[in-house]
């Protein structure tokens, strides 16, 4: 009923306010830990200079990307409670997705593999921090669903009206009642406090900020596929598409 829906919205607002209070209290302390990592990585690059071997350079790149991703997590958490957008660098979506995959790969157990099928797409621009947050959250969920062993497939396809990003796993899948609630804030199936229940909710907010759509396909025993559509925006292509027209191959949602 309408009264039940109003009460549900009120409870969500209270929860998000509480989250905002918590985020504000810890953000300063977390940033104090992150920024020395970023600054020391810069100093390490200067010290090694051109003499650094390729593997050391790659590891420094990943430290830099991961530490900046951590800073993005803090900023995104604050955005989700204040309705703000974090200022970041716009890049072609294909470049941003490649950065996102490179950032999460080193943290995966040896029993897991990430396959990529990334089509070059320069018609859609995104903020790198947003894609790092999306890929990080979805891959983390996939790792949990597969109990640390299996294959995650990250795909990006260029469409006439935008780009389609999908992240699929071959894990246990979800029951329908879980799938329907998966994007609600604070809903989590992870035990022992390992999940906050805000990951998919934050991903959904980021995608909607681009005027996009997100769908979640899953069933028990058949894994989970998250599909995200990013439309070509006015800033990307000089003209905006019709916002009332469902995107090509997006499935709406």
Same domain, 59 and 158: no
Sequence-distant (≥ 6) Cβ neighbours of residue 22 within 8 angstroms: none
**Three-state SS across the chain?**
CHHHHHHHHHHHHHHHHHHHHHHHHHHHHHHHHHHHHHHHHHHHHHHHHHHCCHHHHHHHHHHHHHHHHHHHHHHHHHHHHHCCCCCCCEEEHHHHHHHHHHHHHHHCCCCEEEEEEECCCCCCEEEHHHHHHHHHHHHHHHHHHCCCCEEEEEEEEEECCEEEEEEEECCCCCCHHHHHHCCCCCCCCCCCCCCCCCHHHHHHHHHHHCCCEEEEEECCCCCEEEEEEEECCHHHHCCCCCCCCCCCCCCCC
Same domain, 73 and 96: no
Q: Helix 93-104 to helix 128-145 angle, to the nearest 10 degrees? A: 40
Whether 173 and 221 have beta carbons less than 8 Å apart is answered as yes
Same domain, 71 and 121: no
Does the pLDDT at position 70 exceed 90? Answer: no
Residue 248 lies in a domain: no
Domain end among 61, 82, 103: 82
CA 105 to chain centre: 14
Residue 199 lies in a domain: yes
Same domain, 133 and 26: no
Whole-angstrom Cα distance, residue 219 to residue 250?
19
**CA end-to-end span of the chain:** 22
Residue 152 lies in a domain: yes
Whole-angstrom Cα distance, residue 5 to residue 208?
22
Does the pLDDT at position 233 exceed 80? Answer: yes
Whole-angstrom Cα distance, residue 8 to residue 136?
29
Same domain, 233 and 125: yes
Same domain, 51 and 133: no
Residue 245 lies in a domain: no
When divided into structural domains, the chain yields a total of: 2
Same domain, 30 and 145: no
Q: Which of 6-15, 37-46, 154-163, 242-251 has the lowest mean pLDDT?
A: 242-251
Same domain, 188 and 226: yes
Whether 232 and 93 have beta carbons less than 8 Å apart is answered as no
Same domain, 99 and 71: no
Query: What pLDDT score does 247 carry?
Result: 44
pLDDT grade for 241, boundaries at 50, 70 and 90: very low
Residue 252 lies in a domain: no
Whether 61 and 42 have beta carbons less than 8 Å apart is answered as no
Residue 193 lies in a domain: yes
Domain end among 31, 64, 82: 82
Same domain, 179 and 103: yes
Whole-angstrom Cα distance, residue 73 to residue 244?
31
Domain end among 59, 82, 105: 82
User: Taking Cα atoms as reference points, which of 131, 145, 58, 127 lies closest to residue 101?
Assistant: 131
Query: What pLDDT score does 19 carry?
Result: 58
For the segment 124-173, what is each residue's pLDDT rounded down to a tens digit? 999 888 888 899 888 888 888 888 788 999 999 999 999 999 999 988 88
Residue 140 lies in a domain: yes
Residue 247 lies in a domain: no
Average pLDDT value for residue range 193-218? 80
Same domain, 153 and 53: no
User: Taking Cα atoms as reference points, which of 192, 195, 189 lies closest to residue 172?
Assistant: 189
Q: At 212, which CATH number?
A: 3.30.565.10
Does the pLDDT at position 68 exceed 80? Answer: no
Q: Which structural domain range is residue 24 located in?
A: 2-82
Whether 50 and 93 have beta carbons less than 8 Å apart is answered as no
Q: At 7, which CATH number?
A: 1.10.287
Same domain, 49 and 107: no
């Amino acid at each position: 009923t309408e009264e039940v829906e109003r009460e549900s919205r009120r409870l969500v607002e209270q929860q998000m306010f509480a989250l905002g209070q918590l985020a504000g209290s810890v953000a300063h302390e977390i940033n104090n830990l992150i920024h020395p990592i970023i600054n020391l990585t810069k100093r390490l690059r200067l010290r090694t200079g051109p003499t650094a071997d390729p593997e050391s350079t790659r590891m420094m790149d990943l430290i830099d990307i991961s530490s900046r991703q951590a800073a993005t997590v803090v900023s995104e958490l604050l955005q989700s409670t204040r309705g703000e957008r974090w200022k970041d660098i716009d890049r072609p979506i294909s470049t941003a997705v490649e950065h996102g995959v490179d950032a999460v790969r080193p943290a995966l157990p040896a029993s897991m593999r990430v396959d990529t099928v990334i089509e070059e797409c320069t018609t859609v621009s995104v903020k790198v921090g947003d894609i790092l947050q999306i890929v990080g959250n979805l891959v983390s969920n996939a790792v949990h669903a597969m109990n640390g062993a299996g294959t995650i497939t990250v795909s990006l396809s260029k469409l006439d009206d935008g780009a389609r990003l999908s992240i699929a796993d071959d894990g246990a899948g979800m029951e329908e009642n879980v799938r329907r609630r998966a994007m609600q804030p604070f809903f989590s199936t992870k035990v022992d406090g390992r999940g906050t229940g805000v990951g998919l909710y934050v991903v959904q907010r980021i995608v909607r900020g681009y005027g996009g759509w997100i769908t979640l396909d899953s069933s028990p025993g058949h894994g989970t596929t998250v599909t995200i559509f990013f439309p070509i925006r006015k800033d990307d292509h000089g003209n905006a598409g019709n916002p009332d027209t469902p995107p090509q191959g997006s499935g709406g949602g």
